[in-house]
Amino acid sequence: MSLTDIGCHEDIPETQPTIEGNAIQKAQYVLDNYGKDCFSEDTGLLIDALDGRPGVYSARYAGDHKNSEDNMDKVLEELGDNTNRSARFKTVIALVLDGQTHTFEGVVEGKILNARQGDGGFGYDPVFLPTGYDKSFAQMTADEKSEISHRARAMRKLHEFLKNLA
């Protein structure tokens, strides 16, 4: 069942200071306003040299227009020639089920490249090189990326949790 199926067409608030907080807020919003248990997720890119930015502001880092090209430009400009390019993608899935909230985290470590590489994926994929790989997320096939991505890792944890409930 999707948000559209339950009549939810509004933008769900994301006003928490953490990725985990936003994921929980969105799931709780659906329960509070539509009476449905659900799961939601929030994802961010955390860059060490930028004190964890863009973090919860990843989608709108360069403005509310949520433009990926502008977001990457801003990150690359802020990093400049900084040699500390360590970063990670983090996803938190929040599940509100039977009055309890559970969270599942997926992280993939890597670094920010000096320039875009590849034209696949979305968001910051062209500038993110996962640790242990020689191509950016944007250069990987969807299958390659889904094997190691932060979202896939969080989803596997959620899947395992739900499987153990049965």
Which residue in 11, 32, 37, 42 is the catalytic one? 42
Long-range pairs for 112-120 at CB < 8 Å and ≥24 separation? 112/47, 112/75, 112/76, 112/79, 112/85, 112/87, 113/85, 114/76, 114/85, 115/76, 116/72
- C-alpha dist (Å) from residue 157 to 96, 102, 103: 15, 11, 9
For residue 73, indicate whether it is catalytic: no
Measured between alpha carbons, how far is 123 from 128 in angstroms, rounded to an integer? 10
- C-alpha dist (Å) from residue 88 to 13, 28, 99, 161: 24, 26, 31, 24
Q: List residues with catalytic annotation.
A: 42
